[in-house]
Structure formats: C-alpha cells, structure tokens
Amino acid sequence: MARKKALGRGLEAIFSDSSQLEEKKQDKACDGLVDISVDELHPSPLQPRKSFDNASLKSLAASIKECGVIQPILVRHSDGKYEIVAGERRWRAAKIAGLKTVPVKVVAADDLSVMEISLVENLQREDLSPIEAALGVQELINKFSLTQEQAAKKLGWSRVAVTNKLRLLNLPQQVLEYLGGGKITEGHARALLSLKKEEDCLRLARLAAEKGLSVRELEDAVRRTLASGTSRKKSIRVMEVPESAKRFAERFGIKVKLKGRQDKLQVTLDGLSPQVALKLFDLLEAKGEELFPEE
C-alpha cells in the first residue's frame, strides 16, 4: 500500500523511522543547523525589503509544503529570540504553509554584517522593485564605503547595472512614486533621465502613466522635447557689442553684454555701484520719451 505523502513537515517527511530521523538531526547539528520554532524568529529591522508579494509568497509556501525548507534560514541571537539575517521570505512562506519549525543556522554577526548579508541576498535573489533595489544599492555603498565597482562585484552585477540603478534616484519624487507604484516601468524611468527640466520630466511621466505609453513611445516624446528645447536655445544669440559701447565700458570699468533677438534684446551692465545704478535710472527716466517714443 502506498504511503500517504506527509505535508508541512519539511525534509523530515523523507525519513520513515526514528533511527533515520535521529541520524538526520545529528547530521544537521554537525553542519551547524538546528530546527527552531517559527514563533521564535523575527524579522531584522535592517532588512532592506519592506514589502513582499502575496502571490509569490503563496507560491513559495506551496513548494515548502511539498518539499520543506531546502535552504536553511540564517539567524543571530537577539533579545532572547532569533533575528533573521537572511531568509525572511522563506520564513514568511513557511508560516503560511503551516510549518511549526524551520531549519536555521545561527551565526555571530554585528549590525553591519547583517545589513550587508541582507542587502546582497535581496539584491541578488529577490524581485525587488526598481526603487527598493536602487535604495538598497545606495545603502550598501554608503554603509560600507564601497565604490560602484566594488558593489557590483559583491552583487554579481556589472558596474553599468549598478550605475543605472543609482541614476533612478535622481528622478523627481513624483516620478519615483509612479515607478514604485508600477504606473511606469524602469525602462520608462531611464528614458526620462535625459530630461534636464523637472517640469518636462513630470509632464512626460504623467503622460506615460495615464496613456499607457510604451517605452519606445516615451523615448520618442523625450527626443522631441529635447529637440524643441535645443531649437529655442539656438534662437537666442549673443549680439556683438558696438564699438561705442566697448569704449564706454573700458573707460568706466564695466562690462556690457547684449543678448537676444528681434525686439527682445537684453542689455547687461556688470560692475555698477548702487549709486551709479540709481543715477542711470534717473537718466533713463529723463530720456524715456526719446528712448521709447509713443507710436
């Protein structure tokens, strides 16, 4: 008669009698592994991941219910309990699966080590949101005084991947909220990075979120925005200062600049004292009708 499959007992379900179970426990002890009640474990406040996808947790819980927790959870002693160093997602899924105990490995680790292990594990193995990943990389670099190259080696990423993640944090807060909320993708966000003006960035991010633009469509919109800005800049040129103005400037030790086009010319006089500036305005007022005759 086929034996009914035991669920929710982890790898212990494989062993059918007490002698085999005892051998398994001894092997685990030699490896530094022990079974701990799930209620004795608690998350680390240094954990960079702040949210866990419910669907993903349920999927992992189903796997754990069938096969057990294959990879032990890394913990350290903290306030009479065990603080999770790495494996919080497995612990949460084990609780959903109804397990009473989980295999753990107890390590001695200070706060910095815990943070480094947690950051590296999450950034390597978990589907963090782009913002969580960017903040995690930034925290890893800042806490451990790493270069981008060193952070990339720890994560098994390319330096370019690290740089691209960090650049996301330069976007306006509202754009980051769109990205964190899934209204735009990381591809959309990277397309917006080339925009210099915050209002352009916000406008196009809002357009992409509301209209459901593809990354390619947003890239085209960004190029058009950049091109129109370049055209406007080219239309404003610096005019040549007349010789009379140059002589005037040299004589009185000031700088004269003329900039603009058509009827929007700007005159800049640099180096005037407050007293001279006031006298200049008096002269302009006196000669106003000559300078600005009524049509």
Q: What residues are annotated to the active site?
A: 88
Q: In whole angstroms, what is the distance from residue 154 CA to residue 140 CA?
A: 10
Q: In whole angstroms, what is the distance from residue 26 CA to residue 34 CA?
A: 10
Residues paired with residue 260 on neighbouring β-strands, in sequence order: 237
Among 27, 82, 29, 84, residue whose Cα is nearest residue 52: 84
Among 114, 110, 109, 95, residue whose Cα is nearest residue 36: 95
Q: In whole angstroms, what is the distance from residue 33 CA to residue 292 CA?
A: 90
Q: Name the one residue in this structure whose structure tokens are 């981008």.
A: 148
